[in-house]
Amino acid sequence: MVSARVGRGAVLGAVALSLFAVPARAATAEPDTPGEASLAAPDTAGVAAALKQAVSAGAPGAMALIDDHGTTYKATLGLADRSTRRALTADDRFRIGSVTKTFSAVVLLQLADEHRLALDAPVNRYLPKLLPDDRITVRQVLSHRSGLYDYTNDMFADSVSGFEAVRNKVFTYRQLVALSLKKPRTNAPGAAYAYSNTNFVVAGMLIEKLTGQSVRTAYEDRIFKPLKLRDTFYVHPETTIPGRYARGYLTPDRAGTPLVDATVQTVSWAQSAGAIISSTRDLDTFYSALLSGRLMSAARLGEMERFGPVNSTTAYGLGLRRRALSCGVFVYGHTGIVQGYYTYAFATKDGSRSLAAVANTSNNEGVQSAMGGVLESAFCGKQGKAKG
């Protein structure tokens, strides 16, 4: 395998961009927008600049991996561990937060393929009396249109004290749903998009009820093992990340306060809404496989890709975001925020180009904005609009 250094910089460590040639994947879908069949080459210098900006804004480290028809571009910058000063590497694992939601949606859509689930059926058909409204459907849960209040709004009203209160706590799914149901619903079922972690807690309950297995087993048997995702785990309620990993640092609300090492936690407050651990390589593999049609039937993938508007640049399907970039290209995937990590994982409509990127901090708008620039450079090339 041949490698070539194509870029270098220095902020808390070197930026390394390397190119590896491996067999290309075949495209299996038509382009979603004009020009997507002939995307501009990834702007590796722009990727490096976005990661540098994220570190300058307060992230200990940041990295990205682009897979373009089987050719990979890796970029790493800064530290995986502030105590030991170990440099971040492209092989480090991390907590992916709400990117977990796509994994949960995939399992439920596979169950729909198996005629064990109807998307437009009430959730209460499968989980009797769980929800106070029989009109709330599985589709509405997976598209954030159920109206169920997001209990994390209250749980993390203060970032550090809220986190420390749940860092080692183990919740049941029903306890989390009960926290949501203490508050009025945000809208009538199906009336509007309102992002809520409660929806994907319900998704986890549906997975366990319909499969008779834990979500961990369902993820492993249906996604992790078939795709050979060797860095991807669901360890809840265990608190550690297996193998080599990047530590995650929570930025406190009060400026000038030291970062909090949030690596060790149960993530029980999220579970099927946000507790998976992975790597940039595995996330690229996952979204490429999903969008190229390897994880479910074409009909179910079509259901997943029925998008409703969120704002001027983003739409949401079933556990899947569609994001419009400045060059007119649409990309598909999910973002993830969990204490200590910001994750972006997106791919083109046919899965032929994918990107996974992470910064090992959270609660920092400057870092989050800078990481958005990685998407622009990865999919729009040099014509991408810089962020931040």
Q: Summarize pLDDT for 158-177 with one digit per residue, the tens.
A: 999 999 999 999 999 999 99
Over 50: is that where the pLDDT of 104 sits?
Answer: yes
DSSP letter at 26 equals: P
Asked if the model's pLDDT at residue 4 lies above 70, the reply is no
Task: Indicate if the pLDDT at residue 72 is higher than 90.
Answer: yes
Instruction: Give the total residue count for the chain.
Output: 388
* Phi, psi torsion values for 103, nearest 5 degrees: -60, -45
Predicted pLDDT of residue 386 = 59
271-306 pLDDT, tens digit each:
999 999 999 999 999 999 999 999 999 999 999 999
98 is catalytic: yes
Average pLDDT, the chain: 91
Within 8 A by CB and 6+ apart from 18, the residues are 3, 4, 5, 6, 73, 74
Tens-place pLDDT, residues 305-338: 999 999 999 999 999 999 999 999 999 999 999 9
Which residue out of 18, 98, 279, 297 is catalytically annotated?
98
pLDDT attached to residue 22: 32
Residue with tokens 């790493």: 76
Question: Reduced to 3 DSSP states, what percent helix, strand and coil does the chain have, rounded to the nearest 5?
Answer: 35, 20, 45
pLDDT at residue 189, rounded to an integer: 98
- Asked if residue 35 has pLDDT above 80, the reply is no
Give residue 380's identity as a one-letter amino acid code: C
Share of the chain above pLDDT 70, in %: 90
Q: What local confidence, expressed as pLDDT, does residue 42 receive? A: 97
Asked if pLDDT for residue 373 goes beyond 60, the answer is: yes
**Rounded percentage of the chain residues whose pLDDT exceeds 90:** 88
Q: What is the pLDDT of residue 36?
A: 52
